Structures are given as C-alpha cells and as structure tokens.
Amino acid sequence: MTRQFDAPRRFVFDAMTKPEYLVRWLGCETLVMPVCEVDLRVGGAYRFVFRSSEGIEHELAGTYREVVRPERLAFGETFSMPGFTSEEYLVISTFVEEAGTTTLTTTIRHPTKEARDGHLNSGIDKGVAPAYDRLAEVVAEMG
C-alpha cells in the first residue's frame, strides 16, 4: 500500500506511532479505540482495542522489530476478535520525503498464502483508504 501525504515524514511517522494521534485516525470511523498503548522501541509492544457501538471488541497487537525515526518502522502483528486470532504477520512501513511530501509505503508479509488471501478478502482495502484520509487530516493539523 502506498500513499502520499502533504507533510514532512516526521509528522507522518509521529502520527503512526503516538497514541494522541493514533486514536484520531486508526481503524474504522464507526469504532472507538478505548485502548491505545505504544512502547515505541525495538522489542516494545503495542496494543489497540477497537469497540463497536454493539460493544464488540477486536484488537491489533504486536511487537516492534525495527524503529528508525522517521524513516522506517517494522513490527509483528496479530488481529483478534471474538472466536478468531490471526497468525502473526510482519508489517513494514517506509517514509520517504521529497519536497515536503511524504510517500508512505506499507508492506504486509503473511506466513502463508492462505493467511494473506484471508487478509485481502477481509476488506482491508476498504478500511485503509478512509483511515489514510483521516491520517492526512491529522498530519495537516500538525504543521
């Protein structure tokens, strides 16, 4: 997934790693995020809990494997919801800035083709685009 943001990469990196920004853009806009915990260091953990209006919760959690501010971020992640927990997958994000515009490229590597296909079929593409739109709004306010 690739998206350009009209902001310096340090703003985009911070918006993707600091709880005060994450709660404003991450996840579906119909969900609230009552838990947003980040220990941003190699070996540090994060945990995001999302709750629907019906009270159903799902969670993204993982461990940071690489933190190079503001250039690169890599972490292992699992997704869980009632009755399901994914296998861990690897997420790698790079932040390239040119003339004040940041290109964010995020690659997700799954342990199996079946896991990858399941993630793709989950509607991730429909959720990422509006989340990135909200991320663009957040970084615009940071300048």
Widest CA span in the chain: 46
Closest residue by Cα to residue 1 from 86, 79, 122, 109: 109
Q: How many distinct structural domains can be found in the chain?
A: 1
Could you identify the residue written with the tokens 């809990």?
49
Supply the pLDDT for residue 116: 74
Tokens of 23: 């709660």
Position 22 confidence tier, pLDDT thresholds 50, 70, 90: very high
Supply the pLDDT for residue 125: 63
Give the tens place of pLDDT for each residue, 66-79.
Answer: 999 999 999 999 99
pLDDT at 7 over 70: yes
Supply the pLDDT for residue 126: 63
Better-scored residue on pLDDT, 126 or 45: 45
What is the CATH number for 56?
A: 3.30.530.20
Element containing residue 78 per DSSP (H, E) = strand 72-81
* Cβ atoms of residues 6 and 142 within 8 Å: no
Supply the pLDDT for residue 124: 65
Q: What share of the chain in percent tops pLDDT 70?
A: 94
Q: Domain of 33?
A: 2-142
Give the tens place of pLDDT for each residue, 86-127.
Answer: 899 999 999 999 999 999 999 999 888 887 777 666 656 666
Separation of alpha carbons 69 and 138, rounded Å? 18
